[in-house]
Structure 1
């Protein structure tokens, strides 16, 4: 998910365009983007969309941000969206491992009842002081957790921290990236709200990319190409990774655990990183299968 485009579930006129666009993932939002009284109708719109199954999703990774587990809307949200067309359940305001496990239990009951063939993953939002403190516990709460996502607005606003404050933003990114790393899952950067400032979006995305984030949320279609470009590995990076993988194959066959490539020492963690980068390049069509 280099790019994940938010789409309000109450705006069905946007669904087809979003699914036909260039975003790696489309995130249909039942939470903040939908007014309280409009939530039932928004669920109905998603039910109609998902009746088309995977074929109607145009190969996109489909995410649904539901309302928080503790809200009165959560159970109805799950009933509406748990189906073969959905890949990931995005949980907002996660503040404990127990919340993740409760969500998974509820999801499993519906999946079993409906005999769904694929398990829906969990993307947990880190967007409160408590959630940030317990991010590693949240990340390791259940094997279904496939990523952590930062919610800067909800995290910073109650603390009186301006959006985009560089020191605070970097501190949060570092903490979330380490928590995700402990679990061996991806970390995703939060949204950039000034859609008229593409340079600012790119600066934030590059900062996140340098810290090992896998992608960034997009709140407007104009941000998609920017995210895709920033989180796409360069030809130089791909070429180096291929050399590392090839050298590792030869070295390990000879019983050598550490070696040099392009004048740099390479051992286990660097080999793993190179293998992941090559796999990403193949998924993006930058290398033959």
Structure 2
């Protein structure tokens, strides 16, 4: 999921354009981009789109961002969006493990009511100070949690924190360590200035260097930037193949750690090479 394109739920005329884009994932939004009076219509539009045969047959990872769990819209969001074909529900402003477990239980009931047989995962937004402090606990709160997503706008702006590379790096590192502890992925949030490609690439580069799988995009023009930053270079893939092959030979000789082109390779480096190959095969 190198690129995750946000699609406003109140703009169904954009749905097919998003499907035709190069984004790896589409995240249909029911929260900030939809006015209060338009929530029900947005749910209906998204549900209708997700039910289409061509959408179900696409190679897109389909995600819906709900309204916050304490909002009057969350129950209706869950009931309408727990449908076959949806991979992830993106839950905003998560702050407690109990909250995650409550969402998981409610989602299971909604799936049963709607005939969903493949369990839908949870993508939790880390966008409050408390959520950041408890990120590892949130990530490990339930087996349905697939990943953590960083929301820097909500985390920084209300608290007077400048969006400098140093501040961004500090939060990215914390979220990645929390995700790694729980064995889930970490996805970077959105860059707000659509015209600032350099800013997008700089922030995406920080996330990529820390092992994030991709970045959220608020406009189709950002998709190509994200795909480029988070794509594994051909040289890296070739080296990973050689490392995996060398590890197999070393294992057959009864060796764990081994020298590879002058470098010592042990299990952490082997796992990294295996992960690179797995990611490359997916793309």
TM-score by length of 1: 0.95
The number of equivalent residue pairs is: 283
SS of residue in 2 equivalent to 1:241: helix
The unaligned stretches of length 5 or more in structure 1 are 285-289
The change in CA–CA distance for 1:218 and 1:57 in structure 2 (over 3 A counts) is farther
| Alignment-derived partner of residue 174 in structure 1 | 173
* Whole-angstrom CA distance in 2 between matches of 1:124 and 1:54: 28
* Whole-angstrom CA distance in 2 between matches of 1:49 and 1:166: 38
| Alignment-derived partner of residue 249 in structure 2 | 250
Task: Give per-residue Cα distances to partners, 1:12-40, cap 9 Å, x unaligned.
Answer: 00000101110000000000111111111
Task: Give per-residue Cα distances to partners, 1:119-138, cap 9 Å, x unaligned.
Answer: 10110000000000000001
Q: Contact between 2:62 and 2:88, CA under 8 Å: does it hold in 1?
A: yes
Question: What is the Cα deviation at residue 54 of structure 1?
Answer: 6.6
The change in CA–CA distance for 1:159 and 1:57 in structure 2 (over 3 A counts) is farther
| Alignment-derived partner of residue 63 in structure 1 | 63
| Alignment-derived partner of residue 217 in structure 1 | 216
SS of residue in 2 equivalent to 1:89: strand
The unaligned stretches of length 5 or more in structure 2 are none
* Whole-angstrom CA distance in 1 between matches of 2:244 and 2:221: 36
Spell out the pairing of 1:100-249 with structure 2 (5 A cutoff): 100-162=100-162, 164-249=163-248
Q: Contact between 1:188 and 1:216, CA under 8 Å: does it hold in 2?
A: yes
* Whole-angstrom CA distance in 2 between matches of 1:66 and 1:101: 16
| Alignment-derived partner of residue 265 in structure 2 | 266
* Whole-angstrom CA distance in 1 between matches of 2:118 and 2:10: 26
| Alignment-derived partner of residue 85 in structure 1 | 85
Question: What is the Cα deviation at residue 51 of structure 1?
Answer: 2.3
The change in CA–CA distance for 1:277 and 1:119 in structure 2 (over 3 A counts) is same
**CA RMSD, aligned part only?**
1.2
